[in-house]
Amino acid sequence: MVDTRFTVSVHMMTSLAYHRQRLLSSELLAEGIKTNASFIRKLVTKLSAAGLVESVRGKSGGIRLAKNPKDVTLDQIYKAVVDSTLIAVPTKSPQKSCKVSCGIGSVLCKISDEIEEGTLKQLSKTTLQAVLDDLKG
């Protein structure tokens, strides 16, 4: 199954940056992203805990950015909403009589850590403002 939390969050945060002067509802964001409003609310909870968005309750409430788009990097969004690694590593106990089974876990963990580190490094180079500028481009 493909994990869409990061891409949906970037889409949502870009929408919030684009409509910076307004509070947007989870329903409106969900409609534009073509997803479920409850999924948006789950992401908003995580993004809010990370200090990236603010949620205002009530009839005229909604969601807005908590920071300037120039001060938000994509790795911050990624870390806020993704709680798993890009590559799942083996969790089963190894077959003791098999050398490959005994060593593959540590090899794959190293590879997974390097991929994750590279991904975060790359994402840290892009701000939400740059995404918005590319969109307007």
- Asked if residue 42 belongs to a domain, the reply is yes
116-131 confidence digits (pLDDT tens): 999 999 999 999 999 9
CATH number, residue 49 = 1.10.10.10
- Asked if residue 36 belongs to a domain, the reply is yes
pLDDT at residue 86, as a whole number:
77
Task: Give the range of the structural domain holding residue 23, as residue numbers without chain letter.
Answer: 5-85+127-136
How many domains is the chain built from?
1
Q: Report the mean per-residue pLDDT for the chain.
A: 93
- Asked if residue 20 belongs to a domain, the reply is yes
- Asked if residue 122 belongs to a domain, the reply is no
CA 115 to CA 123: how far, in whole Å? 12
Q: Report which of 87, 6, 92 is spatially closest to residue 46, judged by C-alpha positions.
A: 6
Q: Report which of 53, 56, 59, 27 is spatially closest to residue 40, judged by C-alpha positions.
A: 27
Does the predicted TM-score (pTM) go above 0.85?
yes
13-24 confidence digits (pLDDT tens): 999 999 998 999
- Asked if residue 117 belongs to a domain, the reply is no
3-state secondary structure 45-57: HHHHHCCCEEEEC
One-character DSSP codes across 54-99: EEE-STT-EEEESS-GGG-BHHHHHHHH--S-SSPPP-SPP-TT-H
- Asked if residue 90 belongs to a domain, the reply is no
- Asked if residue 119 belongs to a domain, the reply is no
